[in-house]
Amino acid sequence: MIEDKDILVVDHDQPPLSAAERLYIPQILEGMKTTVRHFGKTIFKGPITVQYPEERRELRVENYRGIHRLNRDEQGRVACVACFMCSTACPADCIHIEGAESPWDDREKYPVKFDIDELRCIYCGMCEEACPVDAIELTPGYDLVGRSREEMIFDKEQLLAIYDETKGIKPRKNPRITGYPRTEDPAGGHTANSGEADA
Amino acid sequence: MTEFLTSQFGVSTLLAIIVIGTLLGTTAYCIYFERKIAGFIQDRPGPNRVGPGGIFQLVADGLKFVFKEDVIPGHVDKPLFVLAPAIIFLVAFIAFAAIPWGGQWEIADGRFVDIQVANPDIGLLYILGVASMSVYGIVLGGWASNNKYSLMGAIRATAQMLSYEIPLGLCILVIVLTMGTLRLEDITLQQTDYWLGFIPQWNVFLHPIAFGILFVTALAEANRTPFDLVEAEQELVGGFHTEYSALKFGMFFLSEYAHMITTSALITVLFLGGWHFPWITWTQPEATHFGAVVVKIIVLCAKVAGFIFVMMWLRWTLPRFRFDQLMRLAWKGLIPVTLALFVLAAVLVYFGLHRSVWALVGNAVILLVTLLVAGSSRTEVTGRASNLPPIGVGPIPPGVREAGVSG
C-alpha cells in the first residue's frame, strides 16, 4: 500500500514573491550562508575527499570483486587441479587453462598454463563459485592498470604473485541471500551459497 | 639620479613599474585563490599538487599557457583577432594609474610626493573611460573569431556592459555630487573625518544603497558570476574567447581578474575611505613618513582583498542570470533606484545637507519605496511552477493507491 506520506504533491499555488524576495537579497544571503558554512568546515575540519593514490578509502562492500588470485595450498604449490570448472562457468570466456598430468600424488592434474584476460573479465565471481578446491578467488584489489592489452592477460605466475601479496586477506564471497528458498542438497555439494563456508 | 628618484615623476615611474609587476603576480594568484575557494566551498582541497598547498600551481598554469600551441584559426580576421586580447589586457592594467595607493609621502623636508602613478583632476573620469574600453576587447574578439558562439557572447557582452554602465555611472555621480570633486585622492581625504568622534565619514555610511548597487554593477562590468553570460559555457562553448588558445586566452583570463582588482580598488576609494582606517594613526592623512605610506598601502590592499573574496564567494554561490532577468534587473531595478539616489544627492547638495544624517534618511525612504513598489508588482515571475501545466495536483486518483507494489 502507498502511505499518504509517500505521495509527493507538487504545490502549484505558491505565493507570489514577497517584496524582500523581489530584491533577491534575502535569498542571496541565505545562499552565501550555506557556502560559507562549507568553506569554514573544509578549512577547519578538512575536506571530505581523499588524496587517492596516497590515501585510500576503505571499501564499503565486504564482498567487492576485484582482481583474481590463484591460491597456493599448504605446501606452496598451486591449488588448482585443472578441472576447467571455472573456464566453463565463465560467461566472458576469459579463463584459458592448459592442464597436464600432475607430478604430485594427491591429484591427477595441474595447470601448466592459467591465463586470465583481465580486460575481458566482467568480475562476476562465477569462477570462484565454480571452483571445487577454492583455488581461484576474487580479491578486493580494484586499481588494475596496464599499458597494453597483452599486458592485461595475467598468467599463472602473476596470479600466484597476487596471492602472495594478498595472503592475509580472506575474500568474503557472496553472502547468504536472506529468504532465498534453499533446497536441501542430498549430496551436500555445491550450492549457490557454498562460499559461506569461510565466513 | 637621487634628484630624479625623489621627484614626483621619478616616484610615479617607480610606482608604475612596481604596480604593474605586483599586479601581474596578484592576478595570477587570484586565479589560485579562486580555485582554492571554489574547492573549500565544494568540500574539497582545491589545487594541492604543485608545491606546498599548491601555491606553485599558477607557475604550472602559466607555463602551460606559454608553451601551448597558439592556434590562429584560418577563418578569423587576423589583425583584430590578435588585437583583441592586447586591448583587454592593456585596458585592465592602465586603469590602475589613477588609484591613490597611499596618500602623500614626505620624501624630504617639506617636499611631498603622491603615492599614485598619476593624480589627474579627472581621475574618476579616466578610470570610467578606460574601464568602458574593455568592451572593445570583448567585442573585437568575438567579431574577429568569425564564429557564431563567439559573436553571440560578444553581443551579450555589449548589451550587458552598456546596460550596467548606466547604474554604475549614476552611483559614481552620487559620490561626485556629495564630494564635489573627481580627484580620487581628494575623495579619499574627505572621508578621513569622524562623526560623533568615532564613526569614520566613509561614504558607505551616507549612501549604503549606492554602495550595494555599485558592487553589483562592478560584478556585471567584470563579467563575474552571476553576470557571466558572456562566457556561459553551457550555451556558448566559451563565449567570446572560444577560438583563443595559449597566451591569448591567458590574457583574457588574467584581465578578468585585473578588472576585479580595479573595480574593487575603485569601490574602496569611493565608499570605504581608500587607505584610511579608523584608530590606526598611521593611516590618517597627517602621517606622511615612509612607514605610514606602507601601512596605508596595506590597508587599501586589505580592503580590496576583502572585496575580491566576496566576489569569489558569490561566484561559487549563485547561479547565472538568464539574459532577460539580467536586463530586467538593470533597466527596471537598478536604474530607477540609482536615479532616485541621484535626485536625493542633488537635493541634499542644494540644501547643504549632503554630509548629514539626512542622506541616510533619504536612503531609508528610497529602500522603503522600492520595497513597496516591488511588493505590489504583479509581474509574472517566469520559470516558476505556477506557469507550468499542472501535474499531480488535487486528490489522489482512485486506483493509484491500490496499484502500489506491496513491500
Instruction: Give the pLDDT confidence of B20-40 residue by residue, as tens digits.
Output: 888 888 888 888 888 889 999
CB contact under 8 A, A2 and B404: yes
| Record: contact B318-A28, CB cut-off 8 A | yes
Position B9: which residue type? F
Cβ distance of B40 and A16 shorter than 8 Å: no
Which regions in chain B score pLDDT beneath 70?
1, 5, 232-234, 237-238, 377-407
Q: In angstroms, how far is CA B218 from the centroid of its own chain?
A: 4
User: CA–CA separation, A160 vs A167, rounded Å?
Assistant: 10
Q: Do the Cβ atoms of B41 and A43 come within 8 Å?
A: no
- In this predicted model, what pLDDT tens digit does every residue of B195-243 receive, in sequence order? 777 778 888 888 888 999 999 998 888 888 788 777 766 677 667 778 8
pTM exceeding the 0.80 threshold for the entire prediction? no
pLDDT tens for each residue of chain A, 199 residues long: 677 777 666 655 566 667 777 777 888 898 899 999 999 988 888 888 888 888 877 766 667 788 888 988 888 888 888 888 999 999 999 999 998 888 888 888 889 999 999 999 998 888 888 888 888 888 888 888 889 998 899 988 888 888 888 887 776 665 544 444 444 444 444 444 444 444 3
Q: If you search the block for the grid coordinates 588574467, which residue do you land on?
A: B254
Residue B223 and residue B256 in contact, taking contact as beta carbons nearer than 8 Å:
yes
Q: What is the pLDDT of residue B118?
A: 79
Mutation for A interface: B33, B35, B37, B41, most A CBs within 10 A: B41
**Using CA atoms, how far apart are residues B209 and B337, in angstroms rounded to an integer?**
9
Question: Nearest C-alpha of chain B: how many angstroms from A179?
Answer: 14
3-state DSSP of A129-143 = HHCCCCCEEECCCCC
Quick one: A42 exposed, middle or buried, by C-beta within 10 A (0-12, 13-18, 19+)? buried
- Measure in Å the smallest separation between the Cα of A39 and chain B Cα atoms: 4
**A100 bridge partner residues:** A110
d(CA B172, CA B354): 15
- The beta-carbon neighbor of A10 closest among B316, B375, B392 is B392
| Residue from the list A16, A32, A47 with its beta carbon closest to the beta carbon of B44 | A47
A145 touching B, CB under 8 A? no
Residues of A in contact with B40 (CB under 8 A): 38-39, 42-43, 47
Residues in chain B with CB shorter than 8 Å from the CB of A49 are 43-45
Calculate the alpha carbon distances from B331 to A16, B225, B326, B328, B380 in Å.
Answer: 22, 19, 9, 5, 17
A132 touches chain B (CB under 8 A): no
Distance (Å) from the alpha carbon of A31 to chain B's nearest alpha carbon: 6
- The three-point CA angle B222-B309-B176 to 5° equals 55
Helix %, strand %, coil % for chain A, to 5? 30, 15, 60
Residue with cell 549563485: B318
Alpha-carbon dihedral sign for residues B135, B136, B141, B142: positive
